[in-house]
């Protein structure tokens, strides 16, 4: 029950972040943005955390539980305040910026015996899940329309939703696969995957593939566009 409540809280607060982000940066109406935000949250962030959880329990036989942390809530609420302030500034002053200084988190999967030989798999499979979701949705987009894919064309409601799911999936796969560590306790999945068992070439190949493929799709192909409303 505690884990279910944590998942509900995480889904709620991250849906708000995504909705405000989509409304501010992509000019998507707030009601549509909340629907998009909920679906994106479930398929990208919550799905990512659940892969961590079930990989740890089913593959590595470790105890695992998703929890909303106080740090995650504080960071996410601060990000919500920043987004609200930016939306108000845009509405009443016309001020608009592409640089949005926010850091949000749904929480974390707490895993027992985190440094066992199997833990690098736990760290690598979650961003790989995001990559797979991104690839599947992108392949479907290519079957129903041609690039560039518009990220905020609500007249094509479902195509835009799929484009957003694909884009954020690739973004999460890329960011989480970076081998970065902040301080003594906070590190991205890529750092854990590459440092827990450096001899595991399979895990290394997953992380490298995540970074390379996601980077190409996000920054090289030029298949994503945003429509700027007139006026």
Write down the domain spans for the chain: 2-225
Tokens 């980077």 belong to 215
pTM for the whole structure = 0.91
Angle of the 47-54 helix axis to the 119-144 helix axis, nearest 10? 140
Cis peptide bond upstream of 125, omega within 30: no
Side-chain half-sphere of 161: how many Cα atoms within 13 Å? 15
pLDDT tens digits, one per residue of 132-190: 999 999 999 999 999 999 999 999 999 999 999 999 999 999 999 999 888 777 788 89
List Cβ neighbours of 40 (8 Å cut-off, separation of 6 or more). 18, 164, 165, 168
pLDDT at 66: 80
């Amino acid at each position: 029950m505690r884990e279910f409540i944590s998942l509900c809280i995480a889904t709620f607060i991250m849906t708000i972040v995504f909705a405000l982000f989509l409304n501010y940066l992509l000019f998507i109406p707030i009601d549509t943005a909340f629907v998009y935000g909920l679906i994106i949250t479930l398929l990208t962030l919550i799905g990512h955390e659940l892969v961590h959880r079930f990989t740890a329990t089913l593959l590595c036989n470790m105890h695992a539980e998703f929890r909303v942390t106080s740090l995650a809530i504080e960071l996410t609420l601060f990000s919500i305040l920043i987004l609200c302030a930016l939306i108000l500034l845009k509405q009443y002053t016309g001020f608009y910026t592409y640089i949005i200084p926010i850091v949000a988190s749904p929480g974390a999967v707490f895993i027992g015996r985190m440094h066992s030989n199997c833990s690098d798999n736990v760290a690598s499979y979650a961003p790989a899940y995001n990559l797979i979701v991104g690839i599947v949705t992108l392949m479907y987009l290519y079957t129903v329309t041609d690039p560039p894919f518009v990220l905020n064309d609500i007249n094509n409601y479902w195509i835009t939703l799929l484009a957003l799911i694909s884009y954020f999936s690739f973004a999460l796969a890329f960011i989480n696969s970076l081998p970065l560590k902040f301080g003594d306790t906070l590190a991205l999945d890529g750092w854990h995957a590459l440092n827990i068992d450096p001899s595991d070439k399979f895990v290394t190949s997953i992380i490298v593939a995540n970074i390379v493929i996601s980077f190409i799709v996000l920054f090289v192909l030029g298949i994503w566009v945003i429509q700027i409303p007139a006026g």
